[in-house]
Amino acid sequence: MRSYTIENKPYIENQIVPAMPYMGNKRKLATKILNAIYDTVGDFEKLYDLFGGGGSVSVAGLLAGHRVIYNEYNSGISNLMQYIKDGGELPNKWITREEFNKHKDGDDWYSGFIKCVWSFGNSQKAYLFGKEIEEYKRLGHLISVNHDEEARIELSKKLGVEIPQCKDRHEFRQFICKELKSRKGELEQLERLEQLQQLERLEQLQRLERLERLQRLEISNKSYNEVEIKDGIIYCDPPYKGTADYQKTIDYDEFYKWCLENKNPVFISEYNMPDGFIEVAQFEHNTSLSQKNNNKTIEKLYWNGVFLTN
């Protein structure tokens, strides 16, 4: 729950929130974004997260005690959020390149799962692994998840290293890191096995599933401008203009016009916004979307200048 200062100003403790793996995910920034909104317009009851994506800001809103409406236009992603909320079992099996390509364009929860967990850079387009490392990753997955003895023997032969049976990806990674250190990184295949990204992403989904407050989340699957909004704060995290494309894009000029004409406070995460919007906060962090060599970027939070009327 959010707390209050002696001046009755709301705030929430900064933390990394549970969320679905998603391009541009705000799980490290969500509580900071929420605090910046408090600093700008004060307290409020309802939060509309109109480009919900991984649900980071929605989760931060739930943790702060708000009524939260999560909206995501991508049907597969919104259906996955509903599936997680309902306690559906998340598959931990190895997903082949063929299965990914078969399901990536679907609209059901499994399609959303495939896109979140098994796409390169969370792009929702390309398979997570290149063909040259796919088999190594598959064997590492089978060893970590299924404790597959045949996979352990096969990978040991491929690497020329005796791999122990591992209870999970953490134990597997510990062994790989130890071998890398002892061999001073001489085996490229070992370096590629240091991370099993699909299992890390699955663990993110599982942490989200264990969040009890998720049961209060209201979920919709519409375009941002089709959601019925009554007296609340609107937060928008659209695909950043000029960066990596998501599966679905928007008309930016139409979006800007909609924000500026809205009668509710609208906050937008972006790198830059046109005239008419007010910058209220900056957040420096690492991101895969950055074009800089060190992956450091400054994201900004903008506001349409409208205050709550009640």
**pLDDT for residue 159:** 87
pLDDT averages per 10-residue partition of the chain, 310 residues: 95 97 93 98 97 98 98 97 97 97 97 96 93 94 96 93 92 90 70 90 96 97 96 95 66 97 97 97 76 73 93
Q: Which of 181, 206, 231 is the last residue of a domain?
A: 206
Residue 33 exposure: Cα atoms within 13 Å on the Cβ side: 31
User: Is 213 part of a structural domain of the chain?
Assistant: no
DSSP 6-37: TT--EE----PPP----TT--TTTHHHHHHHH
**pLDDT for residue 190:** 81
Domain range enclosing 135: 97-206
Q: Which of 299, 308, 230, 306 lies closest to 30, judged by CA?
A: 299
Q: Which of 151, 172, 206 is the last residue of a domain?
A: 206
How many domains, in total, are found in the chain?
2
User: Do 139 and 114 belong together in one domain?
Assistant: yes
Say if CB 76 and CB 106 are below 8 A apart: yes
Q: Which of 159, 175, 206 is the last residue of a domain?
A: 206
CATH code where residue 251 lies: 3.40.50.150
